[in-house]
Amino acid sequence: MKEITDRRITVAIDGYSSSGKSTMARELARRVGYLYVDSGAMYRAVTLYALRHGMIGADRTVDTDALISALPSIRISFAHPGADGVQHTMLNGEDVEREIRDMQVSENVSPVAAIPEVRERLVALQQEFGKDKGIVMDGRDIGTTVFPDAELKIFVCASAEERARRRLKELLEKDEQATYQEVYDNVVERDRIDTTRAVSPLRKAPGAIELDNGTMTRGEQMQWLLEKFNEATDE
């Protein structure tokens, strides 16, 4: 029987916001000893930078020119998992893992992620992370744009209601203030922007396997994903 480490592949996991794709991707990477990259965290880190530097107005209009000029000064990296087992996103050397998950960033990230120059820069960085394969990356355009040749592509979906419930639970666990309606509206609005933007809109990549995980437990999802992974590495 083939060892899973025989042939290192690229795994692209795309899907809607709060579909649980990051949890699945992180867990798969841990189990098979691959690098995990959360590409959404990179868009969130750029958004945090823009918010901190006054580049996003109260009406969510982004000062695109200012942000594009600042791109060379935005360094994003990932620190290895600490005692909490979570990989931390670093913005210019500062650990921003917690801050990039708050509602203010969530509410402003889609317009930032729609800027072609921002995408171009982050896609190049993502491709650099994946140049030696042995990587699991999750996001919106990983199977379509970042790694169109990935050996395993997964497209995760679940209803907006289910995803809003999950996201609210996560926020409340972190003592963040939010109501179901606010979170639901944010999920629907992000879906709308993510699927209709001109550059790399969220869509199922050719050859991607669809997973509707609305009624699956985490354990069932992991078993399903490991099966697909083993099939892909055996090919």
Strand residues in the chain grouped as ranges (E): 10-15, 35-38, 76-79, 88-91, 94-95, 135-139, 152-157, 209-212
Provide, rounded to whole angstroms, the least separation between the CB of residue 184 and ligand DC: 15
Q: What is the CA radius of gyration of the chain?
A: 17
The candidate with the shortest Cα–Cα distance to 124, out of 10, 21, 39, 207, is 39
Of 9 and 142, which CB lies nearer to ligand DC in the complex structure?
A: 142
Helix (H, G, I), strand (E, B) or coil at 15: strand
The candidate with the shortest Cα–Cα distance to 14, out of 211, 217, 223, is 211
Provide, rounded to whole angstroms, the least separation between the CB of residue 140 and ligand DC: 4
Of 96 and 109, which CB lies nearer to ligand DC in the complex structure?
A: 109
Of 23 and 230, which CB lies nearer to ligand DC in the complex structure?
A: 23
Give 139's strand partners.
14
Provide, rounded to whole angstroms, the least separation between the CB of residue 203 and ligand DC: 12
Contact 24, 13 (CB under 8 A): yes
Provide, rounded to whole angstroms, the least separation between the CB of residue 153 and ligand DC: 13
Of 130 and 139, which CB lies nearer to ligand DC in the complex structure?
A: 139
Provide, rounded to whole angstroms, the least separation between the CB of residue 7 and ligand DC: 25
Query: Any residues with CB less than 8 A from the CB of 204 and at least 6 apart, and which?
Result: 14, 143, 155, 210
Of 15 and 225, which CB lies nearer to ligand DC in the complex structure?
A: 15
Question: Would you tell me how many other CB atoms lie within 10 Å of the CB of residue 15?
Answer: 28
Provide, rounded to whole angstroms, the least separation between the CB of residue 37 and ligand DC: 10
Overall residue count recorded for the chain in this entry:
235
Catalog residues that contact ligand DC under the rule CB under 6 A: 17, 39-40, 43-44, 109-110, 113, 139-142, 190, 194
Of 164 and 233, which CB lies nearer to ligand DC in the complex structure?
A: 164
